[in-house]
C-alpha cells in the first residue's frame, strides 16, 4: 500500500461559472428570458433581505419582469458580459494555466421558450466559438446543462418541473447540444445543485410558491422528473458519444451534530440524507431505503410511471460532482440555542468553533476532507469539486492592485484538505473554484459579493467599465496550478 501524497498528474485545475450570472447578452442572439432574468437589484433593499427573492418568488414579480414599461435593473440579464468578452476572459484563464473551465449553456439561448422544435442557430454558434477558444488553449470544458436558468416560458405555461412534459423538452435540448458539441465537450453535468430545489424551488424547479398549496409535494415531484430527465439525458449522451462522461451535481454542506446527544446525531444523519437522497438516486440508480420515511414525514406521495424505475436503474451517472462552501451544525432542539440560528441561507445552526464570511457563511476547510471521504465511501465513483470559494468585498487600490489575501487563505486551506482526502484514498479528479472571475451572486444579485481571481470593474447597479484586472490571488493560483498543488 502506498499513500498518495500528490495530486494526480492530469488533475483538472480550473474555475467555474454559470451562464445566468456571467454571460449577459440576454437580449441578443435570439435568447429568451430565463427564471434568473426576473431578479432585480435595488440599492434600497436591506442587505439581510437580499436573498429573500431568491428563496421565494411571486407571480407578480414574474409578470412585472416581462412588462417593458417597468424599469428595474435586472443584473443577471447583463452578467459581466462574457458574451462579448469571451476571448479576453478565456485568455486570462489560460494565463493562469487552467486545465478545465466549468460553465453552463443557457438553455434559453438554444431554445428561447424551451418548447420549440428547432434550435436557435445563433445560440448554438456562440457556444461553438467558446468551445473552440477553450480548445485553442487546451482547456477542457465541463458543461452544466441547467444551472438555475430554465426558460421562463416553462414556468408560466407549464408550471415548471412539476409538469412531466418538461422532461421531454429537457431531453430534446440535451440531445441537441450533445449532437452539436460531440467531440468538443467530454464532461457534462445535468442539473446544478439538484438538491437545492429544497430551498429555492423557483430557480431550481420553476415553482412559484403561491401556485402550490402543498409545496413539499411539488418539490419532490419536480425533483423526480429531474431524476428521470437526467437519466434519459445520460442514456442519450452515451448513444451519441460513448467517450463522454455524465456527472450529477449536489450542493454538499457537511452537517455535524451540535452536541454529542444521540438526538443531535440522529437529526444530523437525517439532515445529511436530505441531500444524499439526490445523489443516491443519480449514482446508484434507485431510491434508497430511507425514502419512504422521508417522504411520509413530509406528507408527500410521489407519482411515478411504470417505466421510471428502469430508466433510473439503467442510466446512473459516471462521476459525482459537488459544491462545497461550508459545514453546518444540527440540533434536535434548535429552540434552545438562542442566537445560534443563521448559518446558511436556510437558517442552519452556527458552529461556535468556526469563523464566517461577511455574508455569514461559516468557513470550514477540514469538513471538505470529511465530505469527500463520505461521498467516496458511499459511491466509489470519481469525485469532481465543481464549486468552492469565498464571497468577499474587494478593494481596488491605486495602481490596479487588489490584495485578496483572505481569499488566498480560504482557498489554500481548502486545497490542503483535498490533498488530505487524496491521501485518504479518495479519487478526486478536478477542482474548479467558484467564480474564477467576478460575476453576479446567485443568491443576492450583487457583484460586490466577489469570488474571482479576476476583478471586474462594475458595481451592483451595473455601472463601470467592465475592465478585467488581475487580483493577487490570480498570481497565487497560477503558481498552484503550475506546481500541481505542491506549492500552496
Ligand atoms: C452555488 C451556486 O450555490 O453557490 C452558484 O451553484 C452560486 O450559482 C454559488 O453563485 C455562490 O453563491 P452566491 O449566492 O454567493 O453567488
Instruction: Output the pLDDT for position 52.
Output: 82
With b for 16 or more beta-carbon neighbours within 10 A and e for fewer, the 60-75 pattern comes to ebbeebeeeeeeeebb
* 203, 52, 25, 402 alpha-carbon torsion, rounded to 10°: -120
Res 339: pLDDT: 74
193 alpha carbon – ligand 1 mean position (Å): 10
Please report the atom of ligand 1 found closest to the CA of residue 434. Answer: 9
The pLDDT assigned to 408 comes to 98
20 within ligand 1 shell (Cβ under 6 A): no
Residue 240 · residue 175 · CB < 8 Å: yes
Supply the pTM of this predicted model: 0.98
Name the region of 466 (left: φ>0; alpha: ψ -120 to 50; beta: rest). Answer: left
For 385, the 3-state DSSP assignment is strand
CA of 487 to the centre of ligand 1 (A): 28
Which residue has its alpha carbon closest to ligand 1 atom 9? 442
Please compute the mean of the pLDDT values over residues 379-393 and round it to a whole number: 98
Give the confidence band of 327 by pLDDT, cuts at 50, 70, 90: very high
Q: How far apart are CA 135 and CA 118, in angstroms?
A: 27
Distance 100 CA to ligand 1 centre (A): 19
Distance from the CA of 440 to the center of ligand 1, in angstroms?
9
Lowest mean pLDDT among 45-59, 294-308, 420-434: 45-59
Distance (Å) of CA 147 to CA 10, 54, 67, 317, 350? 26, 14, 25, 17, 28
Q: Which atom of ligand 1 is nearest to the CA of 440?
A: 16
* Length of the chain counted residue by residue: 488
Q: Report yes or no: 461 and 43 within 8 Å, Cβ to Cβ.
A: yes
Provide the pLDDT for residue 336.
Answer: 82
Cα gap 22→359, rounded to integer Å: 21
Q: Determine whether the shortest distance from the Cβ of 365 to ligand 1 is under 6 A.
A: no
Domains of the chain listed by start with CATH number: 12-252+318-326+361-482 (3.20.20.80)
The preferred substitution site among 104, 204, 358, 442 for testing ligand 1, maximizing ligand atoms within 8 Å of CB, is 442
When pLDDT is cut at 50, 70 and 90, the band that residue 47 belongs to is confident
Strands 383-387 and 254-257: unpaired
pLDDT surpassing 80 at residue 179: yes
ipTM: 0.99
Question: Does ligand 1 have an atom closer than 6 angstroms to the CB of 251?
Answer: yes
Taking residue 425's Cβ as centre, other Cβ atoms within 10 Å add up to 12
CB of 434 closer than 6 angstroms to any ligand 1 atom: yes
Cα 50 to middle of ligand 1, angstroms: 14
Catalytic residue set: 193, 387
- Which residue has the CA at smallest separation from atom 10 of ligand 1? 442
Kindly report the protein residue whose alpha carbon is nearest to atom 2 of ligand 1: 442
Q: Which of 125-129, 356-360, 447-451 has the lowest mean pLDDT?
A: 356-360
Amino acid at each position: 500500500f502506498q499513500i498518495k501524497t500528490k495530486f494526480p498528474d492530469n488533475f483538472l485545475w480550473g474555475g467555474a461559472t454559470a451562464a445566468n450570472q456571467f454571460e449577459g447578452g440576454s437580449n441578443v442572439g435570439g435568447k429568451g428570458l430565463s427564471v434568473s432574468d426576473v431578479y432585480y437589484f435595488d440599492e434600497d433593499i436591506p442587505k439581510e433581505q437580499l436573498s429573500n427573492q431568491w428563496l421565494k418568488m411571486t407571480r407578480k414579480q414574474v409578470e412585472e419582469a416581462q412588462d417593458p414599461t417597468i424599469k428595474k435593473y435586472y443584473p443577471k440579464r447583463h452578467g459581466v458580459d462574457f458574451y462579448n468578452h469571451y476571448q479576453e476572459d478565456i485568455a486570462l484563464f489560460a494565463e493562469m494555466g487552467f486545465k478545465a473551465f466549468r460553465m453552463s449553456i443557457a438553455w434559453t439561448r438554444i431554445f428561447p421558450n424551451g418548447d420549440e422544435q428547432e434550435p436557435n442557430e445563433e445560440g448554438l454558434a456562440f457556444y461553438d466559438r467558446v468551445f473552440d477558444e477553450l480548445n485553442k488553449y487546451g482547456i477542457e470544458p465541463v458543461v452544466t446543462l441547467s444551472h438555475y436558468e430554465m426558460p421562463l416560458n416553462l414556468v408560466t405555461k407549464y408550471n415548471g418541473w412539476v409538469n412531466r412534459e418538461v422532461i421531454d423538452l429537457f431531453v430534446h435540448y440535451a440531445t441537441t447540444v450533445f449532437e452539436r458539441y460531440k467531440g468538443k465537450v467530454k464532461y457534462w453535468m445535468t442539473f446544478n445543485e439538484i438538491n437545492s430545489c429544497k430551498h429555492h424551488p423557483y430557480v431550481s424547479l420553476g415553482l412559484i410558491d403561491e401556485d402550490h398549496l402543498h409545496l413539499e409535494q411539488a418539490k419532490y415531484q419536480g425533483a423526480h422528473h429531474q431524476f428521470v430527465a437526467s437519466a434519459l439525458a445520460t442514456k442519450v449522451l452515451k448513444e451519441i458519444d460513448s467517450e463522454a462522461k455524465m456527472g450529477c451535481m449536489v450542493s454538499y454542506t457537511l452537517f455535524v451534530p451540535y452536541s454529542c446527544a444521540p438526538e443531535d446525531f440522529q437529526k444530523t444523519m437525517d439532515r445529511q440524507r436530505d441531500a444524499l437522497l439526490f445523489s443516491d438516486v443519480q449514482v446508484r440508480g434507485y431510491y434508497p431505503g430511507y425514502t419512504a420515511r422521508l417522504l411520509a414525514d413530509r406528507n408527500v406521495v410521489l407519482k411515478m410511471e411504470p417505466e421510471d424505475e428502469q430508466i433510473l436503474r439503467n442510466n446512473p451517472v459516471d462521476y459525482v460532482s459537488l459544491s462545497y462552501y461550508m459545514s453546518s451544525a444540527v440540533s434536535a432542539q434548535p429552540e434552545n440555542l438562542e442566537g445560534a440560528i443563521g448559518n446558511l441561507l436556510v437558517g442552519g445552526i452556527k458552529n461556535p468553533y468556526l469563523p464566517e464570511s461577511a455574508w455569514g457563511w461559516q468557513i470550514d476547510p477540514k469538513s471538505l476532507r470529511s465530505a469527500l471521504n463520505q461521498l467516496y465511501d458511499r459511491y466509489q465513483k470519481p469525485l469532481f469539486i465543481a464549486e468552492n470559494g469565498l464571497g468577499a468585498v474587494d478593494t481596488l487600490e491605486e495602481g490596479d492592485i487588489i490584495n485578496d489575501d483572505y481569499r488566498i487563505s480560504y482557498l489554500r486551506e481548502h486545497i490542503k484538505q483535498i490533498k488530505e482526502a487524496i491521501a485518504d484514498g479518495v479519487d478526486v479528479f478536478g477542482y474548479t473554484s467558484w467564480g474564477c472571475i467576478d460575476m453576479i451572486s446567485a443568491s443576492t444579485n450583487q457583484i460586490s459579493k466577489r469570488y474571482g481571481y479576476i476583478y471586474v470593474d462594475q458595481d451592483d447597479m451595473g455601472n463601470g467599465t467592465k475592465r478585467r484586472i488581475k487580483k493577487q490571488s490570480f498570481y497565487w493560483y497560477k503558481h498552484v496550478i503550475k506546481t500541481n498543488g505542491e506549492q500552496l
